[in-house]
Structures are given as C-alpha cells and as structure tokens.
Chain A
Amino acid sequence: MVNLTLNGLEITVEKGTTLLEAAKFYGIEIPTLCYDEALSPYGACRLCLVEVSKPGGRSKLVSSCTYPAMEGLVVRTHSERVMKARRLLIELYLATCPSSKTIQDLASKYHVTKVRFTQKHEDCILCGLCVRMCEEQMQAKAIGFVNRGAERRISTPFDAKSDECRLCGGCIYICPACRLRCQGPNEESPVCNACLNLSPPCLDQYDDAMCYMDPCVACELKIQK
C-alpha cells in the first residue's frame, strides 16, 4: 500500500494505482480526453494534469492517467496552476475541433467562454483512443499513427482499405471528437456554452478544490445575488 496526500486528504491506495484512478476512487473528477478504463493509458491529451510534489521538492505538472501513486507524494488536482493550464488547453481544443460535444461540454464545465486563437475545424484530436481500441480490445491493429508533429494523423497502413478491419465500429464508438455538438457542427459560434455550469469551485479563496458538490450550492447562491 502507498500513502499520499490528495487535495489535502491523506489517502492510502494500492501500489500500482495511478493518480487518476486514486482521484476517481475518492470522488474527485479530473477531465480526460484520451483515457478509457479498458485501454492502456496514453498521456497525450494532457487534460488530466495534476500538480505533484515530493516533500521539500519543487512541484510539477504530470498527467495523472500515467503517473503512479508514490509514497509521500502531495497531489493537487485543481490548483491554480493546474486550472490555468487545463483551461488554456480546453480553449485550444475548442479552437481546433469545435464540432465535438465532448469538448463543448468540457468548455462549459470549465468556464471557457471564448476562443482567442484562429479558429480551425479539425475532425480528429489524435487522442489515440481508436488506435488502442482497435489493437487492445478488438485485436485488429487495423489503424495507427502516421507522420510526426503537425503532420501526424491516423490511418490504415499505406492509406489503403485494411484487411485487418472487421468493420466493428469500435473506433467510432470511442471517438470523443465524433460526438457532434447539440446544435450540430456548423453552428456559427465556435463556443456553445449552452449548458454552462456556473459553479467555479472556491478557487479564489483556496488553492485546493474545496467543494465537490456539483452544482456548488454556495457558488450558485453567490451568483444569484
């Protein structure tokens, strides 16, 4: 067993547990785009960032889906530094792939209400869920990544129709970018915010997330006033 501190809470988890799993178990929600329980963690979407430090050491941001719980680690899942990075990343996601309902929902949840970057309309965020789904669950390996950097994309070998593919549709099922936004993909504004949740946790006062109620009663009251 491993002992660590999670948002000020002293917790004990089994060795080999990731920080994301630990947080989930304790009811703390961390947003993810490239994670699925049934697949190996990939650490690419960077939304699950948390701030970790060892006693006496400097803190850093790591992806909680890949980071193992370690003895004595101090973990903060919603610190100011985390939220700043997470919000900007969500803004970048919106600027890249606004047609995805999953991304629009994240924006509302994390109060991202504007996009300051040049608007693009990509179909894919390269989270790699489909690639892992195909390989790990369907044992097919019909698709994979090609090229690197900004040229990176997902395709079949040589871009040809794959013999490995059994048309199971697992890749479509798991894709977060394919879930079209409620008002359809061609809505004028890139930001929907239709179900904006007005409950910023008490970050102004506390650097750790203090309130896990959703929606947060105190915040709702404050806003009504």
Chain B
Amino acid sequence: MSLSGIKIKDQEDLNRLQNVLKKRRNDEECSVAICGGTGCHSSGSEKVREAFQRYLERNDPEGKIKLRLTGCQGLCERGPLVVIFPQEIFYQKVSVDDVEEIIEKTVLNGEILERLLFTDPISGEKYTYSREIPFLQKQKRLLLGNNRLIEPTSIMDYISLGGYGALAGALTKMTGEEIIQEISYALLRGRGGAGFPTGQKWKECYEAVSDEKYIICNADEGDPGAFMDRSLLEGNPHLVLEGLIIGGYAVGAGEGIVYVRAEYPIAVQNINNAIKQAEKLGLLGENILGSGFNFHVRVVTGAGAFVCGETSALVEAVYGRVGEPRQKPPHLAEQGYMNKPTVVNNVESLANVTVIIRDGAERYRQVGTEKSKGTKIFSLVGKVNNTGLVEVPLGMSLREIIFEIGGGVQGGKEFKAVQTGGPSGGCIPESLLDMPTDFDELASAGSMMGSGGMIVMDEDTCMVDIARYFLNFLKEESCGRCFSCREGISRMLEIVEDISRGRSSLEQLELLMELADVVQDSTMCGLGQTSANPVLSTIRYFKDEYLAHILEKRCPAGVCHDLISFSIDKDLCTGCGACAKKCPSKAIEGVIKQAHMINLQKCTKCGICFEICKFGAVQKS
C-alpha cells in the first residue's frame, strides 16, 4: 500500500492504515533510537545520528536497521542516549566513535558494550536494559513512554502505535457531552498550575451559548527549569494535537490555537509540522473522519514573560498585545479570545485527554489518588543525583521520587528541602517527605503542584536566600498592574534582603508575615496570590534559620554574603599560593611556603579560595 497522498475519510480508513503501519513496525528486525531531546541534543546527539546514518547508508543499503531520532527519553545528563530495539539495550554517553562498534557488535550480534552501560551512582550497579534502570523502572510513563518509540516528525510512527484512534472514537461514537462526562469521571485536573478540574472547565464552555468558541493550548511554560511541556511538544506533538482536537470537538470550538514560547524553536517546528501532516491526512480541517466536525489549528509564538502563562494574559498575548492578566469574572468560558467562550488548557492536560479517551476513564482511574487521577511529569533538578523529567502516578511520595527515582542527594550530603511548584511554590522539609504528591496535599503543606517543577536542596542551602531568590524572580516577572503585587513583592523582598544582611528585627519578621498574608489575599491574578509562598513556607518550616539571621546575625548554611567571612588557618596553610593566584580581588597576601592571610577589606567573599584550597585551610564562618 502506498502511503503518499492518502486521505483518511472515516474510521475504517484509519483502522486500515493503523494495521498496515503496525505490521510494518512489527516487521522491523531491529531499530536504533537516538534521543534528540534538548539535553541529548546539546551533548551532541545530532552528530551521533549523522554517524549512524552514514554508516548504515554504506553497510545496510536495504535499510533493515531502522533509525529513529526521538524526543526526550529522560536521564538527560547521561546523553547522548541510544536504545537498541527489540532488546531495549540502553547505552549512554555515546559518541561518534562508538557508532561502528554498536552496529557491528550490538545490533548485528547482540554483544553488549560494557563501557556504554548505565551505572547507578549509588549502588554502582550496571544495567543493560532500559527497563531495569531504577530511574525509569519506578516511573509510570503514561505520556512520555512513547517518546522513545516514535520520531516526532513522523505522523506514521504515531499512527502505527494506535495514534488518532482516540479521536476517531470520540468523533464517531461520542457526543461532546459524553466526552466531558468521561473526562470528569477520569478526575483529570489541569496540569498547568491551578489543578482545576478539566471536565468542569469544559462543561462551562460547552454550556456557553455562542456561534464561535476557541480552545487554546498553553505552551508558554515560563517556569525557569521546567521543560515537561517542551519535551511533550518536541517528542510527541501528535499526542497533544489529538487531545486539542478532541477538546475542540467536546466544547464545540471551531478553532484551536497553540501558544508556544518562541524560545522553543524545535517545539514550534514539530507542532507546526504535526498540524500540516494531520491536515494532509484529513485528521484536521473540514469534515474530519466524515463526522461533519470542522476544526482548524494554528500556532502563535510569543516571547512573553512568565505572567503570559496566566490564562487571561495568554489571551492578550495571542492577540499579539502585552500579556497582562485581567480581573475575572467574566471568565474565559464567557468572554475569552475574540470575546467568545474560550478554554485554555495546558499541554500536559491535553496529552492526558488523549490517553483518557484512548484507554477509557475506567482504566485511567486506576492510577493516582482518590481525588486526582493519572500521572504527573515533574522536572527533577537541583542537588539530586539523577536529574531529568520523571513521570509518576499522582500520590507517589516525595521521598520515593527524590530518593528512589532521583537517587538521593548529590555528594552524600544531607537533604534539606524540596521546592515544588515553580517560582511561586513553597519549600517542603524532610519531615513531610512521606506525604503523597497530589494537588491538595501540596497546597495544604503551603506549596503547590504548579506545573511540576521540583528543586532538591541540600544542607548547604540557606532558606532565607532561597526566599530572596524567588521573590527577586517574581518582582521582575510581575506585570506591575496591581499595587499589592508590584509594591507587595518589592517590600517583601526588601525585608528579606535586610534579614539576609543581618539588619532586621523580630518586628520586621512579623511585618513580613502580615504583608505576605495581605499580598496573597488581595492580588488579582495567580502570580501575586502565590507570590507569598516562598516566604511563608520557608518561615513555616525553617523559622530557626530566620531567627539565626535576625538574632545572632549568623547564616547557618554559610551562604548570605554579609554574614560570612573567610579566614585562613595558619596551621593548616602550606603556603602553596593557589588561593592567592585565583583570588579575583587580590585579597590574599603572603609569601610562598608561609601561611597566607586574607585582607578582609579587599575580600568580596566570592568563596573561590574556599573551593580551591586542598588542605582545608580556608575557613568560612
């Protein structure tokens, strides 16, 4: 069957195509999946792919070995990753020089190349197959799982795994109302931040009476360090697109808009390409699959600020105006884009929609907690051994995520806190690590799910400094319209800065808490309402650290500049002069082979000498 120029006119056509592609896939003797995700790309996976291609062109002219450049597979810092199917042999840190050997030995002869295997940083154990690696094994990759099986630029790859079956089922067998019921029954909650029940949101838009409605996919992803939406759009764009079309059908929208930040060029390229492919096959456009449903999708890119991710600001940004939130009501379900009823959904939420309709809500409900079902993708970063995207069932404890999947804290240091929910999330201490991770639990601990950021902090982190860092981010990112947000965040930052300089008092700490409460309570949009979280959660769990700064003028973690000083222990100093050479402000004085000294007047407390001294002679106090 030739696949060029075909149109899918109804469900039968789709089934037939799926079967042909499935068979083709099963006939593949072996395939090599090279990760082309952001992490692997930057560690050189494109060069590795070229090397594979060149080698195969010469030695495998019949094309028996299939090569795929996939989206992010996880374990980003071990890139470039290469997986050899069907055995699922997992190679990491692959370089161009390894390519020939991989094909000759592993692909053709099943021989394992020890040096490329993944070694667990803690146990020291080596793993051959990807399914054995604890980092991947403990996850439930409902959404990300197919990333390594498909080329994001190939709609045929997606269809060969049953893709667009959910859409066909929805369009031919379900009404909009039934889909909404199914989503509600699946207890899907928005993955973009607020955790609002998707079924309810859709219902409001469905019930709004209007000749035109819109559905917008929010791929603004402004949280620093977060890249779950990016890796979905880059790695499996059709999964998101299919959810968007289903959503459009359910609420009665005729147009879908994907708002992507311009800093994600590959995501923009892949989703644009996916739209074109779907249109060509007849899965988008007029009379989709013979159902009479017409739906068009376009991509809008924006170089918006963090606050543009807020729904009402997003609508402004889609117009091309400055993204500034507005007061709700009227809600977007009444008055959104073009003043018409509009639904805004996060990328990950829409990917979940596809999965729910594909597998049925009953099956979807088997994963998760009583109130929140399904999985959540977290971006696990910070002082943890395995960083990267992890997708786990909602309700898995923070401890399991950080210690079993993440492999614990780097360098054997003590765990201190985990910051969840992006810049306006909160910090959760060790004592609460057994808490199940879901929307309500995190909120009651003074943090939030947010879009799934997770930053692990070790004993060397100062919590006052952390509060200062996030307030500073929020101060820059506030749109500045609400007085309570603009001035409130600035003033919270002012007080926290004073504390970190040892220039504060207990009254100021009281005032800080009072102000934080008011800012949270009185601001218009989510940014201001959550901006107090970094302050309130750190005070709640790490008050002793605040008190040490205020009362003893001491920074227990030795981070806050104004409260630390460096000195050289005369007895330990060997006079090697290494520190004096590296000191950027020439503050270290002394004669070679004699104990050195730090001139405190010149010292900028950069800490380079502390890092560099091999003898532990530089001391921080």
Contacts and interface: CB of A to CB of B under 8 A. Distances in A.
B304 to A, nearest CB: 11
A150 B480 contact: yes
Interface in A53-83: 60-63, 66-68, 70, 81
B494 A88 contact: no
B491 A117 contact: yes
A23 interface: no
Contacts of A117: 491, 494, 511
Contacts of A216: none
Contact of B476 (A62, A125, A149): A149
A45 interface: yes
A171 interface: no
A126 interface: yes
Nearest to A63: B327
A89 B484 contact: yes
Contacts of B329: 67-68, 70
B479 A148 contact: yes
A162 B459 CA distance: 56
Nearest to A34: B483
Contacts of B307: 148
Contacts of A151: 480
A62 B307 CA distance: 20
Contacts of A81: 521
Interface in A91-116: 92-93, 95-96, 116
B326 to A, nearest CB: 8
Contact of A150 (B475, B507, B515, B518): B475
B479 A92 contact: no
A49 B521 CA distance: 10
B309 interface: no
B518 A116 contact: no
A49 B480 contact: no
A45 to B, nearest CB: 5
A46 interface: yes
A46 B523 contact: yes
A151 B486 CA distance: 9
A196 interface: no
A51 B491 CA distance: 24
A155 to B, nearest CB: 13
Given A85-B522, A149-B477, A151-B480, A126 B488 contact: no
* Chain A: number of interface residues, binned into ranges: 35 or more
A44 B482 contact: yes
Interface in A119-135: 125-128
B483 A148 contact: no
Interface in B319-341: 326-327, 329-330
Interface in B7-66: none
A126 B480 contact: yes
Contact of A63 (B491, B494, B524): B524
Given A43-B327, A67-B327, A116-B507, A149 B518 contact: no
B483 A89 contact: yes
Contacts of B298: none
Interface in B505-545: 507-508, 511, 514-515, 517-518, 521-524
A160 to B, nearest CB: 20
A150 B490 contact: yes
B478 interface: yes
A148 B486 CA distance: 9
B22 to A, nearest CB: 50
Contacts of B484: 46, 85, 89, 92
A118 interface: yes
B178 interface: no
B619 to A, nearest CB: 35
B305 interface: yes
A92 B514 contact: no
B363 interface: no
Interface in B402-455: none
The 6 closest A-B pairs by CB, nearest first: A152-B480, A66-B327, A43-B327, A149-B478, A46-B484, A85-B522
Interface of B: 305, 307, 326-327, 329-330, 475-484, 486-491, 494, 507-508, 511, 514-515, 517-518, 521-524
17 contacts: A33-B483, A44-B482, A46-B484, A46-B524, A61-B522, A67-B329, A68-B329, A116-B508, A117-B491, A117-B494, A145-B480, A148-B477, A149-B486, A150-B486, A151-B480, A152-B481, A152-B486
